Chain A
Amino acid sequence: QSALTQPASVSGSPGQSITISCIATNNDVGSYNLVSWYQQHPGKAPKLMIYEGSKRPSGVSNRFSGSKSGNTASLTISGLQAEDEADYYCCSYSSSTTFVVFGGGTKLTVL
């Protein structure tokens, strides 16, 4: 059982903004600024989109942003585009479970 809970699915229309939440069942998200977010298109390897909560790797669009509030991390995608349709996974350090844990994933549908 994952220690990080994500909604199974979210959807939005092109141009809109959506937010995906990642809620920790313990205090690891709040205690450590180590949440990362990964985008995965069908049949492809995950791609790093956000690390250390809110930092973007080089080459990732600034339409992607990350934040944290208490024990909840969030990924916001603004100006939705068709190419954003994918699965998104949060990832955090967990001192009490498995060292590195992934959320269950959220399927983003662009309507």
Chain B
Amino acid sequence: QVQLQESGPGLVKPSETLSLTCSVSGGSISSFNYYWAWIRQPPGKGLEWIGNIFYGRTTYYNPSLKSRITISVDTSKNHFSLRLSSVTAADTAVYYCARRAFGVVTLFDYWGQGTLVTVSS
């Protein structure tokens, strides 16, 4: 059974960089069958796709966030990470990591429990 677990600071100051890690267990992040994704949800609002990474380092980012996002993968630790720079209050959200099927861009079959990140001074 694949499990994903987000970790990182729950509070980030405005203009700073948000950094989160998603640890994957029960499966290899190096698999050719999956992408690894970040999705967020502001409190009381809907879901927003942030971006995906393939273990070979291919990335796809939400164009509205692209200038501030970096998603990377560490195969030795079987985890992948999100960095979002120059954060504002609008970046306050629950951040989820998820596994995405290789051939189906909208198929997110395993999700982490989510971690709330608040942007505040």
Chains A and B come from one and the same complex: yes
* A residues apposed to B, CB below 8 Å: 2, 34-36, 38, 44-48, 51-52, 57, 89, 91-93, 97-105
User: What 5 A-B pairs come out closest when comparing CB atoms?
Assistant: A45-B111, A100-B49, A102-B47, A36-B106, A105-B46
Q: A38 CA to B114 CA in the complex, in Å?
A: 15
Interface flag for B80 (CB, 8 Å): no
> A104 with B46: in contact, given A98-B63, A98-B64 (CB under 8 Å)?
yes
Which B residues are CB-close (under 8 A) to A35? 106
Interface flag for B16 (CB, 8 Å): no
CB of A54, distance to nearest CB on chain B (Å): 13
The residue in A35, A51, A100 that gathers the most chain B C-beta atoms within 10 A of its C-beta is: A100
* B residues apposed to A, CB below 8 Å: 46-49, 52, 60, 62-64, 96, 101, 104-109, 111-114
Q: A99 CA to B62 CA in the complex, in Å?
A: 7
Which A residues are CB-close (under 8 A) to B62? 98-100
Q: Knowing that A46-B47, A101-B49 are A-B contacts, what are 6 other residue pairs whose CB atoms are under 8 Å apart, sorted by A's residue number?
A: A34-B105, A36-B107, A48-B108, A91-B47, A100-B62, A100-B105
Which A residues are CB-close (under 8 A) to B96? 45-46
CB of A103, distance to nearest CB on chain B (Å): 7
Q: A57 CA to B109 CA in the complex, in Å?
A: 8
A93, B49: Cβ atoms closer than 8 Å: no
CB of B36, distance to nearest CB on chain A (Å): 13
Which B residues are CB-close (under 8 A) to A46? 47, 96, 108, 111
